[in-house]
């Protein structure tokens, strides 16, 4: 186990990933511990033995004299590691002033932590954009980002964005106003990209997930449990047969995992009303790995098979308080034995 702490600061783990040799990368952001302002993003690299190799503090223009108003936000799929060992990181920076301008950023690092390129993204109309997720394909030729225009105002202009992995330039950006956010992305073996987020239907929030082809054309969009209760998507992944798995949770506790085929047709689902699963990783055969919270807010690292049957769950122990907020899971080079997860402990 690796403990991350900055003197006098709160450090929030957002995302974890690993390379082919088992080195571990952690995307995190800090709070100054006073008023929540002046947050910075961090990228940290550890050896497979958990030894810190290097860390990078990431920030953009300080916007003096408004420097102390800067805020940094990261989400669970903020970090991706390519087959070459290059690292891709996204975050969003905001100011605590009306009308809450947001700017999204993506940075590419080489394995030593040297910046290869860095890009900022904004919206021509709303003048604000939040980049919330990234996905890179196996040969590092396709890079996708999930983005929101004007998230502070509740605007549901969601964008799927194709970026050039060599430069960060935008290839295409497709907006879809019927879905709020693609907070989780998965690139399928056939080259399609699937994003999972939420949709507002009347007074309820439901799960929504969409498939785009590599040219940005929407193939289909599906909603699930959007008229029963408030439900939020918590992750998406796929397998070698182009099946898609979406996990979801209820605010009051409980959740499940949904499986659909490449056309979006329902296959099966597994609801666990006492547990809220979050799917973050999968193998080619459809074995799924993620995190589960129970009604007592205990978290466990878990495995399911492609039929959504639970295989095992190992509770995270030795942490006080027990109600940790786990954030991310990544498979190591040996997917049967190596898992990495990140967690943020309230109050620490």
pTM of the model: 0.86
- Going 8 to 13 to 17 to 21, the CA torsion angle's sign is positive
The predicted pLDDT at position 188 comes to 94
What is the chain's pLDDT, residue by residue, as a tens digit (348 residues)?
A: 555 555 556 677 788 888 888 888 888 877 554 444 556 788 989 888 888 899 888 765 444 433 444 567 777 788 999 989 999 999 887 765 555 567 888 999 999 999 999 998 877 666 678 888 999 998 899 999 988 776 545 445 788 899 999 999 999 988 776 666 788 899 999 999 999 888 776 666 788 889 999 999 999 988 887 566 678 888 899 999 999 999 888 776 677 888 999 999 999 988 765 666 777 677 777 888 877 766 565 667 788 888 888 888 777 665 433 444 445 667 766 554 455 555 555 444
Closest CA to 331 of 285, 271, 299: 285
The predicted pLDDT at position 319 comes to 46
The predicted pLDDT at position 62 comes to 46
CA 59 to chain centre: 20
Q: What are phi and psi of 288, to 5 degrees?
A: -115, 145
**What is the spatial distance between Cα 120 and Cα 103, in angstroms, rounded to a whole number?**
7
Helix (H) or strand (E) holding 18: strand 10-18
């Amino acid at each position: 186990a690796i403990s991350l702490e900055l003197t006098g600061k709160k450090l929030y783990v957002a995302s974890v990933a690993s390379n082919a040799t088992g080195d571990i990368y952690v995307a995190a952001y800090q709070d100054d511990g006073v008023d929540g302002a002046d947050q910075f993003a961090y990228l940290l690299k550890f050896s497979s033995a958990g030894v810190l190799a290097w860390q990078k503090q990431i920030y953009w223009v300080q916007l003096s004299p408004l420097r102390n108003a800067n805020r940094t936000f990261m989400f669970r799929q903020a970090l991706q590691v390519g087959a070459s060992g290059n690292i891709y990181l996204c975050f969003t920076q905001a100011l605590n002033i009306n009308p809450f301008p947001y700017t999204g950023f993506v940075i590419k690092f080489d394995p030593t932590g040297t910046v290869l390129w860095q890009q900022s993204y904004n919206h021509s109309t709303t003048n604000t954009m939040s980049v919330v997720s990234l996905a890179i394909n196996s040969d590092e030729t396709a890079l996708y980002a999930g983005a929101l225009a004007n998230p502070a105002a509740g605007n549901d202009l969601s964008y799927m964005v194709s970026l050039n992995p060599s430069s960060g330039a935008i290839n295409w950006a497709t907006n879809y106003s019927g879905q709020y956010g693609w907070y989780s992305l998965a690139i399928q073996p056939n080259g399609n990209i699937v994003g999972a987020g939420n949709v507002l239907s009347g007074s309820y929030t439901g799960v929504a997930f969409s498939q785009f082809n590599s040219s940005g054309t929407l193939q289909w969009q599906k909603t699930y449990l959007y008229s029963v209760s408030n439900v939020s998507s918590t992750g998406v992944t796929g397998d070698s047969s182009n099946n898609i798995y979406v996990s979801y949770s209820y605010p009051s506790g409980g959740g499940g995992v949904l499986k659909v085929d490449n056309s979006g047709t329902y296959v099966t689902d597994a609801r666990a009303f006492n547990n809220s699963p979050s799917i973050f990783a999968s193998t080619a055969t459809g074995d799924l790995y993620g995190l589960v919270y129970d009604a007592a807010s205990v978290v466990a690292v878990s495995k399911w098979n492609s039929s959504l049957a639970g295989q095992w769950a190992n509770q995270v122990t030795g942490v006080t308080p027990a109600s940790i907020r786990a954030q991310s899971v990544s498979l190591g080079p040996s997917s049967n034995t190596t898992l990495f997860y990140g967690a943020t402990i309230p109050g620490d």
